A = this chain, B = another copy of it.
C-alpha cells in the first residue's frame, strides 16, 4: 500500500511538476492540500487526485507521511510549524529555511524570519553532499535551482583545491521562465520575454548565499549573474575559473571520483558540454568541461531542469530519503 504525501501549492509550476512525478511513484500517493483558492486551476478536465483542506485537522486526519510545501517563503514559514506538529515530515521548496541564521535570512530576503528555531533545525537538502543528515531530518530545505546547478559543479573542485580562488569564480547563469513562478507579472509576460534576453539580480541574487554556504567560497570570490531565457524550463550555468590542473580529463576525473555511484550526475567526455535538451524533464545534473592548459583558463557547463533537479525532483529525492525509501524511486 502507498504512503500518502501532501502537496501545498499544487497549482504552481513546481507543485504541478511534483504531482506529475508522483503519479509514477510506486510507493507514494499525492494528496492535494487546498490552501488558497486565488490561483487558477490547470484546464477544464476533472483532476483525479484526492484533495483536502490545508488545515491541521485535515492533514492530521489524513495520516500524511510527508508534506511538500511548494509555496512562497512567507506561507512556508506559516505552515511548517503545524505540519510538523501534525506528525508529517516537511520538504520545503521555498527559500524560507535555507540560510541557517536569521541574520543571513534578513540580509538576503529583506525580512525577519518568524521561525528561527525551525530555521536552525532545517537540513539543507542537496543529497549528493548531505544525504545522511537528510535521512534523519524532520524539515528539509530544498535547495534553490541556481545553487543546485552551481554547487554540484563547483564544490568538488573547491574541495579538491584546484581552483585559483584569488582570481575568483564567475558563474554566468541562465534560467527558463518557469523559475519565476506562475503568478502573472509584466516581467514574465509572453510579449516581454519572447525574442528577448536579459540579465537580472546581478551580484545580489538571493541564491548567492546558498552557493557560498555549500561551496565554502567567500563572497568576493564568487561573481554571479542570473539571466532570463525565452523558454519554459531549464538552467544552464557557464562557470569560469583558473586552474593549474593540466587537462580537462584531469578535471573530469575529479568529478568522476566524487560522484561515483551518484544516480543523478552525468559527467561529459572532456571537451563536450550539455545543453538544456539533455536534462529537461529529468532529475539529472549534467556537467561538461573545457580547458586551455596553456593559460589555465577552465570553463565548466552545468545544466539541470529547474523544475526537476532544481525543485520538484530534488524535493522528491529528499522526501524519499526522509521516508526511508530508495532515493531514486519515481525519478528514473
Is the beta-carbon distance between A44 and B13 smaller than 8 angstroms? no
Kindly state whether residue A197 has any CB partner on chain B within 8 Å: yes
The 8 Å CB contact of A168, one of B44, B203, B227, B242, is B242
Verify if A174 is at the interface (C-beta below 8 Å from B): yes
Task: Name which of A53-61, A96-104, A135-143, A231-239 contacts chain B.
Answer: A231-239
A278 contacts which chain B residues (CB < 8 A)? 43, 45
Task: Find out whether the CB atom of B188 lies under 8 angstroms from the CB atom of A189.
Answer: yes
Q: Can you report 22 A-B residue pairs in the complex whose CB atoms are below 8 A from each other?
A: A40-B186, A45-B278, A170-B172, A172-B172, A177-B190, A177-B191, A184-B188, A189-B190, A195-B231, A195-B232, A196-B277, A197-B275, A198-B276, A198-B277, A199-B301, A202-B290, A202-B299, A202-B301, A203-B292, A220-B292, A225-B238, A230-B231
A16 → chain B, closest Cβ, in Å? 11
Which residues of A pack against B, CB within 8 Å?
13, 40, 43-45, 166-168, 170, 172, 174, 176-178, 182, 184-186, 188-199, 202-203, 219-220, 223, 225, 227, 229-234, 236, 238, 240, 242, 266, 268-269, 272-278, 280-281, 286, 290, 292, 294-297, 299, 301
Residue in contact with A44 in the complex, picked from B191, B269, B290, CB distance below 8 Å: B269
Contact B227 A238 (CB under 8 A): yes
Note all chain B residues with C-beta closer than 8 A to A269.
44
Are A238 and B178 interface neighbours, CB within 8 A? no
Instruction: Give bound CA distance, A192 to B234, whole Å.
Output: 15
Most buried by B among A13, A286, A290: A290
Point out the residue from B178, B197, B280 that lies within 8 Å of A276, measured CB to CB. Answer: B197
* Closest-CB distance, A167 to chain B (whole angstroms): 5
Given contacts A189-B184, A189-B188, A203-B297, is CB(A194)–CB(B231) below 8 Å?
Answer: yes
**Chain B residues closer than 8 Å to A286, beta-carbon distance:** 45
Q: Are A193 and B190 in touch, CB under 8 angstroms? A: yes
Of all chain B residues, which has the CB nearest A289?
Answer: B202
Known A230-B231, A231-B230; judge A170-B240 contact (CB<8 A). yes
Distance A197 CA – B229 CA, assembled complex (angstroms) = 8
Q: How far is the CA of A275 from the CA of B249 in the complex (A)?
A: 37
With contacts A184-B186, A240-B170, A240-B223 known, is A276 near B203, CB below 8 A? no
- Contacts A178-B191, A184-B185, A229-B229 known; list 12 others, CB within 8 Å: A172-B172, A176-B195, A182-B189, A188-B189, A189-B190, A190-B194, A190-B232, A195-B195, A195-B276, A195-B280, A197-B231, A230-B230
